[in-house]
């Protein structure tokens, strides 16, 4: 009887071991597939990862060849047909100096305020920019905050903010990651149409934001 029970237990253990092996191989295959479908952008001061269908745009960054390109470090567009309006942008701004103390006005992310305050400023700024005559005719941005949270990685605080807005009455969603490192403000902006941004591609867009790290 004991021998039979021992053999049965051994069969269960072997089956369990095979199950773990199959699960591990499936996970490895999934990771390999994900690696094929993503690409890394690594620069001197920052790094991020995007789906492979995003392609870097050749911009004259030094001369600000793109309208509103002040501080623009990287511009990536969705290369799929009809989706060039879906973009990933990275802007950098060095902290101005306090005239009284001659110290940087911000040297850490928290110097910008808490994450809720920064989120409110981003949404208010979006709405303020849409107050021009042409923008009003197109309905204005009508930006609405969706989420604001913070994450600390390797001692650096990141603020992650998402909000919806309208562009010519079309619904969009903006994901932003903000941080300060070495007295420089980094702002990553991922903007897409609302349908893709909240549908099956939502996770891959969230992954772009969380992949961004300063170096």
Model pLDDT for residues 158-194, shown as the tens digit of each residue? 999 999 999 888 999 999 999 999 999 999 999 999 9
Of residues 12 and 127, the one with the higher pLDDT is 127
How many CA atoms lie less than 13 Å away from 61 in the CB half-sphere?
A: 12
Of residues 3 and 195, the one with the higher pLDDT is 195
At 146 the pLDDT is 98
The pLDDT confidence band at residue 13, using thresholds 50, 70 and 90, is very low
Pick the CATH number of 38-214 from 3.30.565.10, 1.10.10.10, 3.40.1000.10, 3.90.1150.10: 3.40.1000.10
Dihedral sign (CA 156, 150, 201, 30): positive
Sorted by where each begins, the domain ranges of the chain are: 1-36, 38-214
The pLDDT confidence band at residue 15, using thresholds 50, 70 and 90, is low
Q: Percent of the chain scored above 70 by pLDDT?
A: 74
Q: What is the mean pLDDT of the chain?
A: 85
At 164 the pLDDT is 97
pTM for the model stands at 0.80
Comparing CA positions, the residue from 73, 162, 165 lying closest to residue 115 is: 162
Comparing CA positions, the residue from 182, 167, 184, 179 lying closest to residue 210 is: 179
Distance CA 185, CA 93 (A): 5
Comparing CA positions, the residue from 59, 86, 64 lying closest to residue 74 is: 59
Residues 6+ apart with CB under 8 A from 82: none
At 180 the pLDDT is 98
At 130 the pLDDT is 74
Q: Where are the alpha helices (DSSP H) in the chain?
A: 2-36, 115-129, 133-137, 194-198, 202-211
Residue 40 has pLDDT above 60, yes or no: yes
């Amino acid at each position: 009887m004991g021998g039979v029970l021992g053999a049965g237990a051994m069969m269960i253990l072997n089956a369990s071991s095979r199950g773990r092996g199959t699960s591990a191989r499936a996970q490895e295959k999934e990771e390999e597939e994900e690696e094929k479908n993503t690409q890394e952008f690594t620069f001197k001061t920052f790094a991020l990862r995007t789906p492979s269908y995003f392609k870097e745009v050749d911009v004259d960054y030094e001369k600000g060849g793109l309208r509103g390109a002040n501080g623009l470090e990287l511009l990536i567009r969705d290369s799929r047909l009809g989706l060039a309006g879906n973009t990933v942008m990275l802007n950098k701004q060095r902290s101005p100096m306090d005239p009284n103390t001659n110290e940087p006005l911000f040297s850490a992310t928290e110097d910008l305020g808490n994450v809720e305050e920064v989120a409110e400023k981003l949404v208010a700024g979006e709405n303020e920019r849409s107050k021009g005559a042409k923008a009003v005719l197109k309905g204005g941005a009508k930006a609405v905050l969706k989420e604001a949270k913070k994450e600390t990685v390797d001692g650096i605080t990141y603020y992650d903010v998402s909000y919806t807005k309208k562009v010519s009455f079309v619904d969009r969603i903006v994901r932003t990651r903000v941080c300060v490192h070495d007295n420089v403000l980094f702002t990553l902006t991922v903007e897409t149409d609302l349908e893709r941004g909240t549908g099956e591609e939502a996770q891959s867009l969230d992954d772009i934001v969380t992949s961004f790290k300063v170096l």
